[in-house]
Amino acid sequence: MQPIGTLRLGVNIDHVATVRNARGTAYPDPLRAAEIAEAAGADGITAHLREDRRHISDADIEGLMASLKLPLNLEMAATAEMQAIALRHRPHAVCIVPEKRQEVTTEGGLDVARQENRLGDFIAPLREAGMRVSLFIGHEPEQIRAAARIGASVVELHTGAYCDFHYEGAHDKRDAELARLAEGAALAHALGLEVHAGHGLTYETVAPVAAFPEVMELNIGHFLIGEAIFLGLDAAIREMRRLMDAARAAG
Ligand code: PXP
């Protein structure tokens, strides 16, 4: 079983690339954002190379692999193309996510239970090449158990619904979702999986998730890049770090 320990922050830099790509310019540079994130106390950088390359590009991944000092967590779909890219670059970690072309963002978790054999075969060479393999899933026990069975090291629990309920003012639903996330984190930990969480987290929603003792890493992007417009990226990340650490310390 993984020891319960400190909470890491992975900063997702996808939306720096979204702003760049909106104009087709060379700036703002996601790599520069990664350097600022490192100085601000991030423990890792996350980047999602989507099939349609709507934000992060192949050249971004090459640049990050060449000069990033922090560990890179490459988010990707379970496709042959992405598997080959991961095997070529060998980032510290890969996080397998479901991907639909039309979606605005990753809408739900992977259905590991229904594709156990396929995903098991997909992650085997990544694990053998030394990458930490994470599966982005919901909190359903059958998904967590399936992730453990196929040999994932990590599950990242999808916090999107919890955050949506918070901002919709549906506080009963939010609290029920949070309770299911807590149960999922405890089950995953008991099964020997390292537990991460992410999607949609903000200053208002991060604390209860950061307080789950089993969660070892939060991956946060969109809100931080938005907040950077007002505070600057360094200050936006430092504030998130402060809120996470305070919530973890308070239990
Ligand atoms: N974790 C995973 C697996 C994701 O796909 C994303 C979004 O790319 C995030 C975390 C970060 O979500 P957000 O950008 O909403 O903070």
Select which of 48, 55, 166, 189 is catalytic. Answer: 48
**pLDDT tens-digit map of 42-77:** 999 999 999 999 999 999 999 999 999 999 999 999
Alpha-carbon span 224 to 220, nearest angstrom: 7
Residue 199 annotated as catalytic: yes
Alpha-carbon span 251 to 238, nearest angstrom: 20
Find residue 134's DSSP bridge partners: 95, 154
198 lines ligand 1 (CB under 6 A): yes
pTM value is 0.96
Residue 222 annotated as catalytic: no
Nearest CA to ligand 1 atom 7: 199
Alpha-carbon span 221 to 64, nearest angstrom: 16
DSSP 55: S
**CA 71 – ligand 1 centroid, Å:** 17
Are the beta carbons of 109 and 137 closer than 8 angstroms? yes
Q: Which atom of ligand 1 is nearest to the CA of 200?
A: 15
**CA 198 – ligand 1 centroid, Å:** 6
Name the class of domain 8-250.
alpha beta
Domain limits of the chain? Answer: 8-250
**pLDDT tens-digit map of 122-151:** 999 999 999 999 999 999 999 999 999 999
